[in-house]
Every structure is written in C-alpha cells, then in structure tokens.
Structure 1
Amino acid sequence: MSSSIQYDDHDATRVFGQRPAALAAAAPLPDASLAELQAFAGLNPLVACASGLLAALATIRASITHPDPAGLRPKLLQQIQQFESGARSRGVAAETVLIARYALATMADETVAGTPWGGTAEWVRNSLLVTLHKETWGGEKFFHLLNRLAEDPARNIDLLELLYVCLCLGFAGRYRVVDNGAAQLDALRERVAGIIRPVRGSYERELSPAWRGEHAPIGKHNRFLMLWPAAAGTALLLLCGYLWLSFSLNEVSDSLAFGKVQVKMPAYVPQPVPPAQPLLRRFLAPEIEEGLVEVIETAGESRVLLRGSDLFESGSASIAPAFEPSLARIAAALNAVAGSVTITGHTDDLPIRSARFPSNWQLSQERARSVLRHMAPMLKDPRRLSAEGRADQEPLVPNDSSVHRARNRRVEITLRTGGA
C-alpha cells in the first residue's frame, strides 16, 4: 500500500491512506449513542473492532467510583490488543492499525484521568499512550492526525470515522483547556461530519421507511410496561436537577466563601519593615535559574511559586513526574529553615465542572493537598505543613489572556518564620 500522508515526529506513528474501496450508500453517521455505534460499525472494520472498547470507555466516563482502578489498566491494554488483532484479521493495514491504536489509547487515558478516581500519579507515569507509543502529548497530536487524514478522506475514511466517533463520545484533548473550547469542538465535529458524508453518501432520513404500525388492543400487562419509560424519564429529570443544583450551589458557595468582607479598622501607622533576609532563594538558585520556580521574599516570609501548567496535567490534581525532583529540592530547602509552611492552590477564572471537581475551589484545594502529601514524607517535621485552596480569588495578573491565565494557575508554598 502506498503512503499518502506522514506525521513528522520521532515516534514511528504515521498516517497512511486506506485502500480504495467502493463507496456504496451508507447508514447514518453516529451521534455518540452506543446503539448507533453498533450499527455504524457494520460499515467500518476499525469501529467494529473497537466497539467493545469504546462502549467500556463510555461507561467509565460516567462512573463516580471503580471497584478496581489498579486492575483497569491491564484490562484496557488487553482490549486495545484485541482491537489490533481483530483489525489485522480483517485485512486492515498495519500502518492504519497503528494510528487507530494511538487514538484509542489517547482517548482511554483522557477518559480515566477525567474520573474522580482515575487521576493518579501512577496512571500519569504509566499511561496507555506512554506504554504503547512512548508519548505524552496525545491530546495535541490527535488533532494533527485528524487534519492530515482529512486531506484525503476517500483513502482515510475508516480512520476519519473512528476519530469522529471518539469526538462524539466525549474526547476533547487540547480543547478541554483552551478558551471557548467546547464551541470550537462542536464546530470541529460538524466539519468532520461534513467531510465524511460525501464519501459515505447520503442516508435515509427515516429510520424505517416501510414501517407500518399495527393496531392491537393494549392489555393490562402492556399498560404496566408503558409506565416504565415515564418512570425512567422522571428519574433522569430528577438526576439532572440534582446535578444542576449541585453545580449551582458550588458556584454560589464559591462567591460567598471568597467574597470580600468590608470591616472598618482604625488607621494603622506601619512600623519600619526590616530588610528581607534570603531564606529559600539561595537554596533554590538552580531552580530559579531554570525558570521552574519563582521566589518572593519579605521579612520573615518566603513564597515559592510553582506554575500549575508544569506541575499538573490539565484538569488534574496529580503531580507530573518531571516536577518531582524540584519538589524534593524544595523540601530539602524547607528542612534547612524553621517555620510553618502553607501550601495554597490557585486557579484561573475559567470555571471547571466535572464529577471530581464541581468547582475551581475543589480543584485548587486538591492540588494543594496533593503537593502536601508528596512533600510530607521528605520533611523532618511534616506537622509544619498545611494546605488550602483559593480558587481564582488571588490572581497575580488579570485573567484577560491565555498567557495571564496560565500564570495565575499555580501553587504557592509559603514559609513563615518567627520573625513574621
């Protein structure tokens, strides 16, 4: 098979065109429902082989807890391997299977990381994408691959449809953190559907054009069965109402918790402030020079600022493995200076709404606690540590651009000595 598209990267991942195939009239495109996914899979060997994995990921995405998070990773790896075997047995080219595997591993990693129980440091270090492709930037590369495939939709139709199904089932990648990401993702899905439709052809608007209803008397048993849809619909409405009230309550509670309280105080005449003595700056000079941390020191106080974009994955409270040596160096510096240590999490002003983090306050608090849990074993006296979340209430700069928002997403480690 001749290659038509390649993704220029050090990884062996490449995009190749599909074999030309007869383009018969197709069934409707999927709209993210699993029932339609099964029907859609009849046209596409990649979607057919991945349907079991995609159905499992849809269930995982909606779960609040999991009975065996540690055992989930080998099960997902096994399902990806079964997908590979099934696709090759259907005659799909090895290069095409490789691209499909990359997309499925990326989607699986994002799905697990977005659950309340899945965003652990262990999964970040040993994600499916790292295991299979030795990469960590799948949320960006997924869309590069999609753009390359769209250059020749007739040859790459099966891969295009698989990536489209991933988008319909909730994959967001880089659009999860950019401004107006949801709207951009909706527009992208529409564009991909528009690319696929001319290749697969038009479809019947009616699900069953020849269908005719049968008039039959409704017995008592059937009347009882008809109550189930109403009961299920009522339960769904109640659940939606509960979630809406929960998110609304968190939004209101954030504003109340961080609202400014005006208290009239008598005029205060400040005393001369003694010059600041360097407490942590000399210990963290290498990290400061590399731009990993920023240290602000005043009399009796040192603040170490850690950029959230370096310290955490997007929307996660798990510490990035690459930053662990820096935290160890900070802990060593704290061991050399006495005083209390407060770890404070901060976010930008873009609200987060997920099952694990209903509001920015929960996200900022959990990030601070994550740093505390990581550093506590390295301190001689871990009782010095405390953690708190401040959400978006203490920005360093105005939240008026993506650059400024990235600066405001941070964790501060504040050391206060007896002189404070």
Structure 2
Amino acid sequence: MRSRSRACARIGRLRTSTSTYCRHPPTGGYVIVSTNDPQQPSPDDERTILIPSPGGKRGAAAPAPQAPAPQAAAPSPAPADNGGAPAIPRIGGHGLNPLVAAASPLLDLVLPLRHMAAYPQVEHLRQQLVAGIKSFEQTAKAAQVPTDAIAVARYSLCTFLDETISATPWGSGGVWSSRSLLVTFHNEASGGEKFFLVLQKLCQDPGTHIDVLELMYLCLSLGLEGRYRVLDGGRGQLDILRERLLELISRQRGVVEPALSLHWQGAGGKGEALWRMLPVWVVAAIALSVLVLLHMALSFSLSRASTPVHTRLHGIAVAAWPASAAAAPLPAPAAPARVAKFLAPEIEQGLVSVSELPDRSIITLMGNGVFAPGSAEVTASFVPLLQKIGDALRPVDGKVKVVGHTDNTTGFSTRYPSNWDLSKGRAATVARMLGERAGPPERYSVEGRGDTEPVAPNDSAANRARNRRVVIMLLAPPSA
C-alpha cells in the first residue's frame, strides 16, 4: 500500500487547501467527497463526486467481459445553419477497455467542437450531449461495467466536454454557463479541481481501477487541463502528470509495443529503374541537358587545344621567289582613289582608315564599340557606317575579303569558344551587311585571324581596342 501511495504522489500533487479527508466505509467501494471547507458554508455545498475507497471491495458487480456488448444508439443532431457543426456519432465503438469503448463516440466530438468558430443551436447540442451521456451509461451497463466506475467516468466526460465547449466563443456564456453537463448530471458548475482529486485516489489502487484510469488518461491526452489551465507553469506540470499516469498504466497493462505492426513486410519491388517511372518529357529534358553540357565541355576543350595549333599554322611563312638580278624594278603605278573620297567624312572622324593600293583598297574598321564584348553582332550606332561602306563598294568591281581580328583576352561561349571563332564570326557579320548593299554574296569571303596580327602590344585598354578591328579589302581586277 505504501508503494501505491508513492505512485499516486508522483502522478500529481494537489493544493491541500482544496482537498479534504475521505472516510472509507468498512465495505469499501466509492464514497461521497466534497471539496468545500466544512467550516465555511458555500452556496454550492451540494456539489459531490464519487471517490473510490482504496483496498475496498467493488461490490457485487460481475466482472466485465472481454468483448463489449452491443451499444445503444443516440440520435444525431439537426444540422447547424453554419454548415460546419459536427454530427454526434452513434454511441458505440471500440477502445482500450469496455468503458473507453462506450465513451469513444463522445471523445470523438472533442476536436471538432474545439475548432468550430460558431454553433447557432447550442441548446440543441446540449440536449444531444445529454442523450449521449445517458446512452454511454446504458452501453457501459450492458458491458457489465460497475456502477461506481460508470459514475466516475460520467463525471470525467462531463468535465471534459464542458471545458471544451466553454473555451469556444459560442459556448463561453448563455446556455452552457448555466446548464452545463456537470450541472445536469452532478449539480456542479465546474469539475476542474475534483477531476484531479478523483485521479489521485484512483492511482492508489490502479489494478482495481485501471479502466477508469485509462479513460481519464485519454481525456488528459485530448486536452483536458482543469485547474492547470490557470496555474503558472501548469502546462509543464500537466505533461509530467500525464507521463507518470502512462507509466502507472503501463505497469498494469504491460509495455505497449511501439511498432504498429510487428510482422509487416513491404511490397516486393519489381526492380524497375527510376527512369521508367518518369514521364517521357522529363527523361528527354534530362538527356538534352546532359548533351548540351557535354557539347559545351567538349567545345571548350577543343578550343583550348586548337588555339596553339592555329597560332603555329599562321606563323608558317611561304618562301618568296628569288628576285632576278638582271631585272630592273618596275615603277609602281599610281593608286586610284576607289573609296577614299566617298568615305572622307568618316576618315576625318577617325571611324575608319583607308589605304589605296594599286591592286586593292584596304578599309580598316576600328573595333572599339562596333561589337559588344564576346559578341559578333554590330551595335546599332555603327550600322549606318557599314551601310555607307557598302554604298562605296557598290560602283567598284572586284572581290571583297573581310578579315576579323581580336585582342588577346579570351572568353568562353558555346557559339564562339575561341578568339579564332569570334574574329571569323565578326567578319561574317560585316560581310553579310555589306552584301545587302553592294553585290551578291559570292563576292565576299571571310577569314578570322584571332589575336595573331596585333597592330599594338596588348598591354593597355587603348592598345587592345586598336587590335579589335575588321579589315575590308577590295581586290581590284587587273584592268582597274
């Protein structure tokens, strides 16, 4: 008996000002206990509850069977106008024991009622819950649950449902404040104190009252707080009480296996690859992305490997024919002005430079600002200049060769992986724009030389700008 008292003390400690001594009759069972001070009369002196006497006999009630008997049914409430009111289920169900099984339909209502914003038919709900409590009693009696256990369970359910509804905006006043379930069945206004007094007494003999303890544990787990709602640190104290009550129940029932299924087996996999479960378009998109990345990587690698080769090839010089010692040099013919006069304003502005030779005219288009960095597209401000150069080439016969040059800075793009590709791309853009103004496309040829022919050292921004250029060579026919 002393060990049971220690277990009860660990479940929770109540303030001594609210508790009184219990007189246990010699025959055991449940006794009536009041929390009012006998020396201080109160207008609510008739509030009483049933407290089990530890070590006493339970009376002549037959032991509860393993399977609960069929339960009676309670009518469902009329639908609420707000459309969100939960219907009260029929009494009956399954649970940890016959008492919990009979109470489970009422416990199922707690969460829906707690989270309802409004319930216009409060009186109708009260009537339905009263009928549900009565049906619970009938079901428990049919399952041969002792009468005194039913009374304590009814008190716990009334306390829990009243607390839940009183905490809602629609149940905090009016009908429920004056005609709660506790008032109806026990003539008491609140059970937040006595619930824990009852719990403390039941814990002194958990083997006898295990069914009621399990029901009270469920009420605490579903949110019943009682007097702990207003205490400082009450939530933490309540958590400790609930954990110790679970330990007490586990010592009676045995440790519950944490696994929900002890012999489960997963569905046997068919060994299908993950890609078989993906949509076709996802697989195609992944494959395309891989191919693009592979192409970029290979292009960059090829560009780095080919740039030195291009430089060495460009450095190979063809040996000149030996000059005849007896031949006298021919006088150089005068170079005709094929395009210089037409482009005189642009030459003065420094946009282009023109060299007139007997067999060709060389127009150098300074690359600073003509193209964006890493791009082969001509900026809009230089389009009129290229159109005028095309107009200058239109009346003159001869092939046109366009050669692109860059500085020594290297960039990377999938379209122009090297300076050789970039210089050739710029030359092709200029040739295309000239061809739109002067002559068929066959007249033009393009070539890219990268940074192999600088006109200045690439040691400053100004010099690098001079090296970024496009050279347009008009090759005059022999008769020109």
Alignment TM-score, normalising by the size of structure 1: 0.45
Higher RCO, Cα 8 Å, sep 6+: 1
Bigger CA radius of gyration? 2
Alignment TM-score, normalising by the size of structure 2: 0.40
